[in-house]
Structure 1
Amino acid sequence: MALPSQITVKELDPTFAEMAAVSFRLAGDGVELTPRERILLNLTADVCEQILGMPYELHVRAALDVGLDADDLRELLRFISYDSGYPAALAALERLAEVEREHGLPGPTGQSHQVNANGTGSPLPSAMRAEVRALDPGLADYMDLQSRIRAGMSRISVRERAFATMTVDVLYQTLQESFRAHVGRALGAGATPDEVRAAVRATAPFGMTRTWRALNVLDALLAEREEQERQEAGVA
């Protein structure tokens, strides 16, 4: 049995299929994002929105087509679970396993990272940790744990992870502290402002008005960062 394809969508409604195809194509158009990055963002959106039917199966198929494998997909779900929420990621993990079984796809090999659950400290920036600890020590401990147990992940790049968490922010409209941190992570991983903008714009097929709001916030963040760099260059 084959995975769903665009032909399947056309069978449901050819006009809708055309509308969706041109919309996704335009939102992901351009050279700023790689095909791999675009499909990772689509899968992240599926988790956040709990779109685990045909769209999710189409995105799993597209992920395999661009070279992602079952281990990569599981690392993505493990990584975003702290932002998407563990229940949402678990539902997507269960559905992924079903898709693999139903369609005879290669399953995971078990390659993973070591979970440092009993350690101490955190790779989070010290200023962020201090800010959260002043707000609520219990939440700070939880955030430390979440960052620490992901420290060994390597199948999904830092840039890809930053774009994925930005996608969660756009869809959940958490456009304050976490969005600022995730945009900073993407820029710190070498992404350009245009590439960061493209990652936000890629969320438009999942809800254009949320993308619109996020781009307004992003503009302000980028302008603030540019002004700060200009001031630092002037001092230097």
Structure 2
Amino acid sequence: MTQLAGADALAALDPVFAQLAVGAGYHLWGLPHLTMREKAFICLTADLCHPHLDLPLAMHVQMATANDVEPEAIRELYRHLAPYVGYPIVVPAFQRLTELGLPDAQDTDPVAPVPPAGALARAVHAIQHLDPGLATFTEDQFAQRWARPHLRVRERALACLVVDICYQTLGPSLQLHAELAETDGATEDTFRDLIRGVAEFGLTRAWAAAEALLPSSGAADRCR
């Protein structure tokens, strides 16, 4: 990979910070157990979570398209994430994508809901015991998203894990999305690289996620 998108703009703000930020960017983009699309989706998802809709989003859109992530996949990512980060956040994000020159949506067909099955259905059942109305809304949101085109289930689940890490929802939500990612080929190495990548957007959050998601083989040594 050549120079990261936006490096010159960062250097104009502060050269020392730019050196640090570019190093963090190369670390993320060099992770071996994630696809280039998945690395782009980490960045684009984190931009929604904080939200970073100015220079960071512009940089990440540029990096995504430079690595052959099609514009419709970026749009689909943000459609998918709307209930996870909040619909209002996605409105200015789409406005920003338009300002950045992202082509108009190609997929304009009505959404055809697909009733959730497997882990998604079990999650709805668990929420039903907490609040039936929330379960109904959750089931409807799941039905409108997880079977749509343009993104793999693994890509959708990894993006949701980024939300879990950024928002520190490290219980049932994290476990659900990890299970969904595993059904589409994610491994422990995938999760390790995901957490390492998200560390750029909050080291302490990544640390907490590693404690929640990864095998803690060193726990005994830490207690000695």
Match for residue 8 of structure 1?
Answer: 9
Q: Which moved more, 1:188-197 or 1:164-173?
A: 188-197
- Tell me the alpha carbon deviations over residues 138-191 of structure 1, each in whole angstroms, 9 at most, x when there is no partner: 011001110111144221111111110000000000000100000111111111
Asked whether the equivalents of residues 44 and 60 of structure 2 are also in contact (C-alpha less than 8 Å), the reply is yes
Q: CA deviation at 1:109?
A: 4.3
Looking at structure 2, the residues matched to 43 and 99 of structure 1 have their Cα atoms a distance apart, in angstroms, of: 14
Looking at structure 2, the residues matched to 68 and 30 of structure 1 have their Cα atoms a distance apart, in angstroms, of: 17
Question: After the TM superposition, which parts of structure 1 deviate over 6 Å for at least 4 consecutive aligned residues?
Answer: none
Counterpart pick for 2:203 among 188, 200, 208: 208
Asked whether the equivalents of residues 47 and 53 of structure 2 are also in contact (C-alpha less than 8 Å), the reply is yes
Q: CA deviation at 1:99?
A: 1.4
Counterpart pick for 1:107 among 90, 97, 103: 103
**Which amino acid in 2 is paired with 1:43?**
L
Q: Which moved more, 1:73-82 or 1:145-154?
A: 145-154
Looking at structure 1, the residues matched to 133 and 118 of structure 2 have their Cα atoms a distance apart, in angstroms, of: 16
Asked whether the equivalents of residues 115 and 152 of structure 1 are also in contact (C-alpha less than 8 Å), the reply is no
Unaligned 5+ segments in structure 1 are 101-105, 223-236
Match for residue 35 of structure 1?
Answer: 36
Pairwise mapping of residues 108-187 of structure 1 onto structure 2 (< 5 A)?
A: 108-112=104-108, 114-116=110-112, 121-123=115-117, 125=119, 126-187=121-182
Q: CA deviation at 1:201?
A: 1.6
Q: CA deviation at 1:94?
A: 1.3
**Which amino acid in 2 is paired with 1:116?**
A
**Which amino acid in 1 is paired with 2:198?**
T
Looking at structure 2, the residues matched to 130 and 166 of structure 1 have their Cα atoms a distance apart, in angstroms, of: 21
Q: Which moved more, 1:65-74 or 1:44-53?
A: 65-74
Q: Which moved more, 1:25-34 or 1:145-154?
A: 25-34
Unaligned 5+ segments in structure 2 are 218-224
**Which amino acid in 1 is paired with 2:74?**
L
Match for residue 48 of structure 1?
Answer: 49
TM-score, structure 2 as length reference: 0.87
- Tell me the alpha carbon deviations over residues 73-104 of structure 1, each in whole angstroms, 9 at most, x when there is no partner: 1100000111111111222111111111xxxx
Residue 203 of structure 1: SS of its match in structure 2?
Answer: helix
**Which amino acid in 2 is paired with 1:46?**
D
Asked whether the equivalents of residues 32 and 198 of structure 1 are also in contact (C-alpha less than 8 Å), the reply is yes
Asked whether the equivalents of residues 166 and 183 of structure 1 are also in contact (C-alpha less than 8 Å), the reply is yes
Cα gap change, 1:95 to 1:109, in 2 (>3 Å): closer
Q: CA deviation at 1:206?
A: 0.7
Alpha-carbon RMSD across the aligned residues, in angstroms, is: 2.0
Asked whether the equivalents of residues 164 and 173 of structure 2 are also in contact (C-alpha less than 8 Å), the reply is yes
TM-score, structure 1 as length reference: 0.83
Cα gap change, 1:90 to 1:187, in 2 (>3 Å): same
Asked whether the equivalents of residues 146 and 156 of structure 2 are also in contact (C-alpha less than 8 Å), the reply is no
Looking at structure 2, the residues matched to 109 and 128 of structure 1 have their Cα atoms a distance apart, in angstroms, of: 31
Looking at structure 2, the residues matched to 127 and 35 of structure 1 have their Cα atoms a distance apart, in angstroms, of: 31
Asked whether the equivalents of residues 44 and 167 of structure 1 are also in contact (C-alpha less than 8 Å), the reply is yes
Q: Percent identity?
A: 33
Asked whether the equivalents of residues 75 and 112 of structure 1 are also in contact (C-alpha less than 8 Å), the reply is no
